Structure 1
């Protein structure tokens, strides 16, 4: 038995479980299939209405698509309306069945009932494919020249869809679009301006032709702004909370922006009306804010004067204080583009930007605020700016904190006034939010240290070593901080004051780190400290390294055994574990081994040259690479011929090292 739509909705809402709902829907779907097979013409439009409801619930409705086409072909407007609604709801442009509807739409477009024509235009605007656009473009153009306002505005919007689907039709709509810009109806003007914007976007060469209508557009916008006397703004029917037709104002401003770009003359002619819109629009309403935002974007993109640009930046600055997160986001997004052109104008709104940065109510707004805030950083204000944002490192949002830390590290690297401030700030970041410091930022900091004079390196290693001396309780356990301490003590520990327990610092940092990347760096650092220390500290370093001989981590086990064997060769050890050379900027990306303190091996007179390969970093003469057989022979302890620069003592310690 047939169920009315309201009864079906009531039954579905009363279902307490998904199984009950599926049972109700399955029963109704079975009835609908049976009704479609029986060709129940009288109840077809009611069945399509129920089918659309099931579609909104997410159930399959493909079995009723052809019924929509049958309803469209019916002469009754009520049935035709349900048919078109079902067509737009149940189908999209990719459905093959849509090819059958082109003829029905064309027949309705040629009909005399304006409401049936309007339905066909709506369906075409929603479902049009490229083939349908080419087939029906003539009919749409004819309706655009109609004397009926209702049809002209719908045809203009439909033409937008046709142009998007078949860009080669853009010029076909030029005459009609230019003609519609002379209308006085708000609906027709909104459709005409929207069409003009789309045509200019699809074919920028049409901008010159639309500039002929610049006077009309300026006059139109002026009447909307003043909303007094006879004209476009005289009726309150199109006002939104006191703002005269904000939809039309926004579209006109968008079109003016396209017409003003690259044209000083057009930009000058529209400057007065833009200033009028900016000064007279009520910013307390969302509709007014939308108009102001579009006005500011137009001013900033055209060839406007400096005073007008300052006015636009001030508008965006006011929007930053708006309570609506969406409004603040679009203002921040616009200011990001402005700051690269005129940073001084945006600097005046730094307080509002930092307030948006501190507001944790919306993640996307904070993300955009970070991007804008750090665009304002210069060498003059970097110290004060970093001090202000440091308080935000206590935030609980890990994504926000990671992005903020990355921006702080980048700003410090680019604008640090002195190396010592650079070191102190990055160290503070490592202590406060070390887990959020990226590998690239840490690598960049360590590469920076290699390029500094010994006096600066001494400041860095002392500052980091103090974190592990018993002055401030237990050492921090941030992996990035531990990596930095281990690496710096391994490279620059010799600069610490006499009596500093380098081995003790490294052992404390390595505590409980077996199997981790930190332990790999720590073993290399201990070997370097042992190579330059006295016998007692060398033995202590060797003892700590030997703890990893039985590690389950293969890399740690290999390093521990190899470094332990290297301790037996005091003459060879300093050469193998020489300090890393300075890393230039172009080397940073390739310096994947920076945190691991990869040893730099001299090429001259170095028996390890064949084993470690041709580094060529010391500036000395480079030995010719050995043949493959010779390298294998050296590696296995065989008798490859020595190169011209190799040292060949009577008892070579390299043989003992390699013949384990």
Structure 2
């Protein structure tokens, strides 16, 4: 039962052994402290296999009369394990004295002594010994103290289970006890015992208290729920009555524990939609009221499981689930949003979008630590709703574009990326979305966001009105052109103003003061050395002009491409030649202005060659009349088709992943059918989510015993006096070493101990015990090492044992054991934006040069993914044999939440090796170095060539 406890005793030193005579002398002459130490050593010796029957009378004579509480507790441990039967199987005569002592303790005035004795009786299995104690146990049921009564119930129950004739009326006695008892714990224990001894009596007791069941103590309510859950499987005819009873408890109970258990039981007993909604609403109530974030996540997961088992039933609870967003924990918010997205339908999608809008507006004005990440989660959720429900797509776009000015660069770029997908997916909404985007361009502050917005305008601004509006914004945002000439005029006017300010009121020029240089010398400023920089003027500059002057020429290149697309679009729309020529000239002037200012000293940094080439190419395209048709098709059709193909690839991969998940969880037509009625398991455990069983590891596939040979590590040499080997097993966050020691000498190795130390984020949890190993003997021991990160760890140590003389010792050094971090690294997936964000944030980079003799790039990529447990994020990276170049992004995540990123750039030379490099980034140095070593070893490996005979 739940209250029956057992004691584990640790043996500090197995090599030290005391003789029976020494124990006798310690028990005869020692004080209570000495006897306590002796009793502990006696218990350890007995647990190791030596029963020491000769000590029984000495313990009865010298330990049993003591009143020391610690000694009495150890005495009961001794009674539990000592041999109570003689060789013929009959009770030893000495046990009569023990029975008398137990009877006296059952009548002891101290209630805790009585309670401890009753707990000991629960562990006895000898009917002859229990027979004399029955009357005393029954009398304890009427003791004034609840601690005695609650243990007496279990003692009486165990006596009945050992031998029914010792207490044939135990169920009747417990039933009467239930009606007379007032303590909640005693009543709960009594009902648990009664439900196992007499189901009819337990049902009768529930029937007697059915009108008061909502007011009963939560402990008793939990016992009722557990009984109902078990009995409903064995007696399906009572399921409807049980369901009604559990629903009443669910609605009226004030205990959160009872509500959770009752709601879980309710989902097991029935599939009625109203009751499933009731259970779901109670789970939501718990997630809202409970302060513990773990409880919030558990209850939200239960709602998710309910939705999978009963799809479409919990849709009306979507807004209620989102009340959990008031919590500050980001993981809880993510879980709540993730569960809600599974419940969205066309009926409630608008309300959910409104709520997300309020949350998005609230994050703009709050100062929470994880504000940016939470805003990102909200945007991704709104994105998914707009993709799944066309009726809210336009409203969602308006909502996000209105708030784009308040978002961070990353979040705003996510919005633009999301707008791209919606515009392509819903052609009917393109005109309104592009019109809204053009109106929102003035709110954008980041060049990265501008680039995405200009791409959308260039691809999807099809009507002349939209093109004109976009052109007006670009013209006003660039400012006066040519840019270089206008900037020079602004600087010259600033210098003239500065010169005029140097003239004082009498018309004389003010004298310049000498300037002290960093080395302590004096210098005089002149107009040639002083650079006038008006920061207020920078703030008033148009946004595109300001970004270009700050050195963002990639934006200038994208802007040039957009201008080319708009000109070609106007040409396709049959715009009058006069207007088209004017706009073309303006576009070329803008591009030339960006090129010229990029070479001047008015920008923060010079224009890069790539951006300059792209802008020049755009100018050539606008002035090329020979291949105008081909260029127009490439700019207006091919780029859009490429983006459409990319979206189709992503959508296809999602469908394949869903189909794979469905296939893995589907029951095959030839699978065996399991009938619970014929099963020996209790209570719908197959249907109930059993956390204890999962924690015990039963859901994990059984280990292949033959694979253990690959994990055995030799620790010492064959010529050493003691041979040692270890089997390394990784279990979650622990490394367990099963060590086998073999004495290869003809002498006994005394006081042998194995000592371990670690290097890295490892910690030795327990120290192996000391032992004596006989000639050519074997000894097994186990030690556990705690792992706290996926960094490379090393375990080293030695074996120490006594020599021939007491002051001598022999030391054998053990080989180092390197922990394989691949056991903790798992393939993972993330979005492209998340990958880029982590790539920019992570500090540690390990660049590995690749030179491999593998036959193809695909073969190397497969080997790298298998060897590093990384997942390829680049679509289409799994290529054929004909390609000579490969660039791909890889991602993995450790069990400790550490992210590992990799970028692969390799080339297959003609009739030569694969060359290139792999860049690995992580937040910590250890993970980057470990994966780098693994990558280097993979690059060095080559396939063995067949030997020609």
When the two structures are superposed, what TM-score results if normalisation uses the length of structure 2? 0.38
- Structure 1: where are the runs of 5+ without partners? 1-68, 164-170, 200-205, 228-238, 261-265, 599-608, 642-660
Could you say if the C-alpha distance between residues 118 and 417 of structure 1 is closer, same or farther in structure 2, counting changes exceeding 3 Å?
Answer: same
Partner Cα distance (1:480, 1:341) in 2: 48
Partner Cα distance (2:614, 2:79) in 1: 79
Aligned to 2:220: 291
Quote how far apart the aligned CAs of 1:412 are: 3.2
Matches within 5 A, 1:201-600: 216-227=169-180, 243=182, 245-256=183-194, 259=196, 267=199, 270-276=202-208, 283=215, 288-302=217-231, 303=234, 305-306=238-239, 309-310=242-243, 312-314=245-247, 316-317=249-250, 320=253, 322=254, 327-342=255-270, 344=272, 345=275, 347-348=277-278, 358-359=288-289, 382-391=314-323, 393=325, 395=326, 397-399=327-329, 402-403=331-332, 406-413=335-342, 415-418=343-346, 421-422=348-349, 425-426=352-353, 428-429=355-356, 431-432=358-359, 435=371, 456-457=389-390, 459-468=391-400, 477=407, 482=412, 485-494=415-424, 495=427, 496-498=429-431, 500-501=434-435, 504=438, 507=441, 511=445, 519=448, 523=451, 526-527=454-455, 529-533=457-461, 571=634, 573-578=639-644, 579-581=646-648, 582=651, 583-585=653-655, 587=657, 592-593=830-831
Could you say if the C-alpha distance between residues 592 and 308 of structure 1 is closer, same or farther in structure 2, counting changes exceeding 3 Å?
Answer: same
Aligned to 2:116: 154
Partner Cα distance (1:301, 1:548) in 2: 70
Partner Cα distance (2:557, 2:153) in 1: 73
Is the partner of 2:67 in helix, strand or coil?
A: helix
Quote how far apart the aligned CAs of 1:466 are: 0.9
**For the Cα contact (< 8 Å) 2:421–2:647, is it kept in 1?**
yes
Count of matched residue positions in the alignment of Structure 1 and Structure 2 = 479
Is the partner of 2:338 in helix, strand or coil?
A: helix
When the two structures are superposed, what TM-score results if normalisation uses the length of structure 1? 0.52
Tell which has more relative contact order, 1 or 2 (C-alpha 8 A, sep 6+): 2
Alpha-carbon RMSD: 6.4
Partner Cα distance (1:175, 1:438) in 2: 72
Is the partner of 1:580 in helix, strand or coil?
A: helix
Could you say if the C-alpha distance between residues 525 and 629 of structure 1 is closer, same or farther in structure 2, counting changes exceeding 3 Å?
Answer: closer
- Structure 2: where are the runs of 5+ without partners? 1-22, 86-93, 108-112, 364-370, 479-542, 560-607, 619-630, 659-826, 837-856, 863-871, 889-904, 912-949
Partner Cα distance (2:287, 2:62) in 1: 58
For the pair shown, which has the larger CA radius of gyration, 1 or 2? Answer: 2
Partner Cα distance (2:547, 2:96) in 1: 82
Could you say if the C-alpha distance between residues 638 and 388 of structure 1 is closer, same or farther in structure 2, counting changes exceeding 3 Å?
Answer: closer
**For the Cα contact (< 8 Å) 1:490–1:528, is it kept in 2?**
yes
Partner Cα distance (2:163, 2:544) in 1: 78
**For the Cα contact (< 8 Å) 1:105–1:120, is it kept in 2?**
no
Could you report, residue by residue, the CA deviation over 1:30-71 in whole angstroms, capped at 9, with x for unpaired residues? xxxxxxxxxxxxxxxxxxxxxxxxxxxxxxxxxxxxxxx9xx
Partner Cα distance (2:279, 2:907) in 1: 70
Could you report, residue by residue, the CA deviation over 1:171-217 in whole angstroms, capped at 9, with x for unpaired residues? 856876799678412277744654699x9xxxxxx998789999745
More strand by share: 2
Quote how far apart the aligned CAs of 1:314 are: 4.7
Could you say if the C-alpha distance between residues 527 and 318 of structure 1 is closer, same or farther in structure 2, counting changes exceeding 3 Å?
Answer: closer
1:122 paired with 2:73, answer: yes
**For the Cα contact (< 8 Å) 2:228–2:242, is it kept in 1?**
yes
Quote how far apart the aligned CAs of 1:398 are: 0.4
Could you report, residue by residue, the CA deviation over 1:401-454 in whole angstroms, capped at 9, with x for unpaired residues? 7525523432332x3333x7447625632641675759789768756766x5xx
More helix by share: 1
Could you report, residue by residue, the CA deviation over 1:215-245 in whole angstroms, capped at 9, with x for unpaired residues? 7453233212322xxxxxxxxxxx6xxx1x4
Partner Cα distance (1:210, 1:446) in 2: 68
